[in-house]
Amino acid sequence: MGEERGHFSSRLGFILAASGSAVGLGNIWRFPYITAENGGGIFVLIYIVFVATVGLSVMLVELTIGRHAESNPVGALRKVAPGALSSLGYLFVFTGIAILSYYGVVAGWTVGYLVKSVFGELDADSFGGFIQNPTLQISYLAFFILITTGVVYFGVKEGIEKMSTILMPILLLLLIALIARGLFLPTAAEGLKFYLVPDFDKVSVKTFLYAVGQAFFSLSLGMGAMITYGSYIEKKENLLTCASSVVFFDTLVAFLAGLLIFPVVGGVIEKGGPTLVFVTLIKIFHDMPGGQIIAIVFFLLLAIAALTSTVSLHEVATAYLVDERKLNRHIAVWLVGGITLLLGIPSALSLGAVKWLSGLLGKGFLGIMDFVFGNIALTFGAMMLCIIAAYKWRLKNAVKEIEIGFPNFGKYKNIWGFFVSYISPLAIALMLIYVLITGEGLG
Ligand code: PHE
């Protein structure tokens, strides 16, 4: 299959596409409100330390497995972990579809709000009515899945890479322009203080829990997206540079998103929650001179970030159907799109449109999907990948793969090995046990 699978055309192409996967609603929508709910600056500090250590080590594991196998997660795990462990690949493919199904709902909101802001209909009080409207929810979901499928249809180089090369620089520019505006608001100082000055009294087990869940989600780890993207990296590339660039860029954008949102909303936003950007922020935009333009730019930014992530979720299942089931790519993409849309409908209807879906287990259908797939499955997946790399495939084989494009990896090999063999799986296992015992949501 090697020839037909396609490759990213350059290291930059990979970095933009993989950063596109990582940078998403997780950075701009979820990171600020999780930070707000978990004590501000102290959460940011713990998050950054976690990402730079455990996050980076798992990123390198995924890229290495992917490039070695040159295959989707199912084929890749069969190669590095033959036997029972390889069935993890199927969990990954399903997790991708599952996350895409509810992520697409929220991504649809960004388009809905973009449309609203273009027509000057932004109104903080309309959020409830919007998410409870079944027709709107399903239409925007379908629209977003359609666009995603359209990009994936064109393949790795012509679809995913080309889109990311155009959209990622735009995303960064929009973000910086918005930050520049926000910093001049009277609320800026108070917001920055909450965001940047750690308050050590606010640390609890929960702070760590949320940092772990947020890190894997934000870095697109634990479900094979990076295995899949890694499989399109050329052998001559330096995987450590690839991994650290993506981790750096993703964390930078999350940090910048905070730098945008906290100065705008000021200090007291602990109760922001998932509606932080759709309600709290809208209220402020509404009252601001030039607020309409700012809102348009902001929701455009969110929609772009979401799209470069949804294509990576979609690509995991598509690559599986193409590599393993020998399906024509053009058929595979529509199949994945269709299944995802069907699975997404209950999530789209669980925000008030259908009562029992909305109240399911106290979290609602979308909330349950996010907890099971966006948190637990990713965390479990990341742990299993470390275990597989260290104890089944063996680190010396992983190191050999990395050294093909980076002969000097030797210097870093021991520290990386230490994280992959002990620190990362143990830290993750402790978190999972805590969650299973207390039943607390990860993020
Ligand atoms: N990393 C993406 C975000 O932050 C979400 C995602 C998770 C994408 C897992 C792919 C795989 O929005």
Most confident of 196-205, 297-306, 415-424: 415-424
Which residues, 6 or more positions from 96, have their beta carbon under 8 angstroms from its beta carbon? Answer: 223, 224, 225, 313, 314, 316, 317
The rounded distance, in Å, linking the Cα atoms of 169 and 84 is 42
Work out the end-to-end distance of the chain between its first and last CA atoms, rounded to an integer number of angstroms.
39
- Mean pLDDT across 401-407: 96
Confidence of residue 1 (pLDDT cuts 50, 70, 90): very low
To the nearest whole percent, how much of the chain has pLDDT over 90?
65
Residues 6+ apart with CB under 8 A from 402: 60, 64, 239, 240, 409
- Helix-helix angle 239-265:11-22, to 10 degrees: 40
Residue 39 phi/psi, 5° resolution? 95, 5
pLDDT tens per residue across span 366-395? 989 988 999 889 999 999 999 999 999 999
Q: Whose CA is nearest to atom 9 of ligand 1?
A: 220
The predicted pLDDT at position 434 comes to 85
Q: What mean pLDDT do residues 29-44 have?
A: 91
If 0-12 CB within 10 Å is exposed, 13-18 middle and 19+ buried, where does residue 90 land? Answer: middle
User: What is the structure's pLDDT at 423?
Assistant: 95
Report pTM: 0.92
Q: What is the pLDDT of residue 97?
A: 97
Q: Kindly report which listed range (44-58, 65-79, 346-360) carries the lowest average pLDDT score.
A: 346-360
- Residue in 229, 312, 318 to alter for ligand 1 test, most ligand atoms within 8 A of Cβ: 312
| C-beta 214 within 6 A of ligand 1 | no
Q: pLDDT: is 292 or 69 the higher one?
A: 69
Average pLDDT along the chain: 91
Coil vs helix vs strand at 204:
coil
Tell the burial category of 19 from Cβ atoms under 10 Å away from its Cβ (0-12, 13-18, 19+). Answer: buried
**Above 60 in pLDDT, residue 29?**
yes
Q: What is the pLDDT of residue 55?
A: 97
Nearest one of 108, 23, 104, 98 to 376, comparing CA atoms: 98
**Alpha-carbon gap, residue 192 to 196, rounded angstroms:** 6
Comparing 208 with 148, which gets the higher pLDDT?
148
- The rounded distance, in Å, linking the Cα atoms of 108 and 96 is 17
pLDDT tens across 117-127, in order? 999 888 878 88
For residue 441, the model assigns a pLDDT of 59
Q: Is the pLDDT of residue 169 over 70?
A: yes
pLDDT number for residue 290:
83
Contact 336, 321 (CB under 8 A): yes
What's 50-72 look like in SS3?
HHHHHHHHHHHHHHHHHHHHCCC
* Ligand 1 pocket mutation pick from 95, 220, 227, 340 by most atoms within 8 angstroms of CB: 220
26 in contact with ligand 1, CB cutoff 6 A: yes
Quick one: pLDDT at residue 4? 59
Radius of gyration of the chain (CA): 21
Is the pLDDT reported for residue 143 higher than 80? yes
Amino acid 266: pLDDT: 82
State yes or no: pLDDT of 284 exceeds 90. no
Task: State residue 273's pLDDT score.
Answer: 66
Question: How would residue 3 be classed by pLDDT, with cut points 50, 70 and 90?
Answer: very low
**CB burial string 123-157: b at 16+ within 10 A, e below:** ebebbeebbebeebbbebbbebbebbbebbbbbbe
In the numeric block, the tokens 């973000």 are attached to 175
Atom of ligand 1 nearest to the CA of 22: 1
Closest ligand 1 atom to residue 25 Cα is 12
Asked whether residue 227 carries a pLDDT value surpassing 70, the answer given is yes
Greater pLDDT, 174 or 398: 398
Task: Look at 43 and 294; give whichever has higher pLDDT.
Answer: 43
Dihedral angle over CA of 66, 69, 70, 71, nearest 10: -80
Q: Is 220 in the pocket of ligand 1 (CB under 6 A)?
A: yes
- Give the tens place of pLDDT for each residue, 230-263: 999 999 999 999 999 999 999 999 999 999 989 9
